[in-house]
Structure 1
Amino acid sequence: MKNVYFLSDAHLGSRAIEHGRTQERRLVNFLDSIKHKAAAVYLLGDMFDFWYEFRLVVPKGYTRFLGKLSELTDMGVEVHFFIGNHDIWCGDYLTKECGVIIHRRPVTIEIYGKEFYLAHGDGLGDPDKKFKLLRYMFHSKTLQRLFSMIHPRWSVELGLSWAKHSRMKRVDGKDPEYMGENQEHLVLYTKEYLKNHPTINYFIYGHRHIELDLMLSAKSRVLILGDWINFFSYAVFDGENLFLENFIEGETLL
């Protein structure tokens, strides 16, 4: 039985991350290290800091990462790509060229007899009206069509600059620390969702850039995956147990 892996929030291409090429190589080295052990890899959003597909144009860069995704799918490994709030604007390029399966909303799926609820996490339980408005605008097909009319020289520059500003306005460029289960929006959302869906064993999210593994009931856990900026973290399910791990190059992985 092969493993199933979950990771999120690499924000590849971010202008707020020093040594971005090294970061991408580390991610690619991780994917290479699991390619013979993986049945599936779930990328739970914000793998790119900004990604926008025009009809005939995609952003430059990310060659090593996209090549490794293609290698995995060519080997028969399922690669599932969830859009986040930084890479909402995926078209069919990643599916056609890299063979990944795109998910645009949360998914409930059975893996080796266990029920998983998977999502990036943006917009789930967050009462912030400004964020809700931005999310609505970013998902608007009309606004996307208008944005596509802008030359990529300016539109991609705008997107990358916006993403950098979004990160740098935080203290030290980092997200807030864990606020406790009674204040974390994703935990509160999950507790409410679990009331009507008690058969779900594992809830797995990205988005918050913290590592969290919390028991909600005797049979249910919620995990927040950290990121590939500070933690280089991932979850792995071997069919019986789910672990939250950190990638240290040179170590033997599960």
Structure 2
Amino acid sequence: MTEVKEGKKIYFASDVHLGAPSIKDPKAHEKRFVEWLDSIKHDVEELYLLGDIFDFWHEYKHVAPRGFVRVLAKICELTDAGIPVHFFTGNHDIWVYDYLPSETGVIVHREPLVKTFGDKKFYLAHGDGLGPYDKTYNILKKMFVNPFCQWLFAQLHPNFAIGFAKRWSTHSRTQNEEAASFDFLGEDKEWLMLYANEILKKEHYDFFIFGHRHLALDQAFNQNSRFIYLGDWVKYFTYGEWDGKTFELKYYKQQ
């Protein structure tokens, strides 16, 4: 259990997609997120980055992706000050190995995390591959986390591998936008809500907090719980804030 000290807050963010080919000004995009990180450093007790912080991330044995130095430096500043920064792997940055935690001090999570802040119980996850609902992606994810498949990908030259990954990302995002899959589908069709309902049959949680869906949503859920989609830093520039008593989904400067 974590008691939030008076004047301190727990922060949550996801889906920054640093380096995404669809972002017109990548440097301004990164600077905006760094500005937010700098704005919370005076009162942050813990920071939870719930996946897809990078649009693509793969650590070779001697090579890490180019760029993101401002974000990495700011994260180092937080962890050097003793602030726990939790990094959840998402479907876009699933290939985090030892470089990111060893260099920046983040605590890496590859599975959902249960946390108790004060007297409230939180269920935290990026959201990809949870439950049986997205069968196609679940098959892909098994390949992505398979050590042999990871080794095969690592044999590709970074110029080709990262270029291919960016093209895949652009194609995937275009398909999602054309299918309007970033729209709220309703509680009976949102996979993560269906998943949360199954979890609640076994154990109560006060808050479910997910990324992945690129929706900014905070609503009452299943009588005594709340369900939060953290939005993103591509369209909404949203983040979650818990002060020990109240959770708020907030909007940062959009432009």
Q: TM-score range by the shorter chain?
A: over 0.9
Question: Bigger shift: 66-75 or 157-166?
Answer: 157-166
2:15 and 2:182 map into 1 onto residues whose CA distance is: 15
Deviations 1:137-165 (A, max 9, x none): 11111100111111112111111221121
Spell out the pairing of 1:1-254 with structure 2 (5 A cutoff).
1=6, 2-125=8-131, 127-171=133-177, 175-198=181-204, 200-248=205-253
Contact map agreement 2:197 2:222 (CA 8 A) in 1: no
| Residue 130 of structure 1: how far off its partner (Å) | 1.9
Any idea what SS the aligned residue of 1:137 has?
helix
Question: Bigger shift: 217-226 or 73-82?
Answer: 217-226
2:41 and 2:224 map into 1 onto residues whose CA distance is: 30
Contact map agreement 1:80 1:100 (CA 8 A) in 2: yes
Give the structure-2-normalised TM-score: 0.93
1:172 and 1:32 map into 2 onto residues whose CA distance is: 35
| Residue 125 of structure 1: how far off its partner (Å) | 3.5
Contact map agreement 2:120 2:206 (CA 8 A) in 1: yes
The runs of 5 or more residues in structure 2 that have no matched partner are: 1-5
Contact map agreement 1:167 1:173 (CA 8 A) in 2: no
| Residue 171 of structure 1: how far off its partner (Å) | 2.8
**Residue type matched to 1:229 in 2?**
V
- Structure 1 residue aligned with 2:3: none
| Residue 94 of structure 1: how far off its partner (Å) | 1.4
Q: CA RMSD in A?
A: 1.6
Give the structure-1-normalised TM-score: 0.93
Deviations 1:195-233 (A, max 9, x none): 1012x1111000000011121245311101000000000
**Residue type matched to 1:79 in 2?**
V
Contact map agreement 2:84 2:106 (CA 8 A) in 1: yes
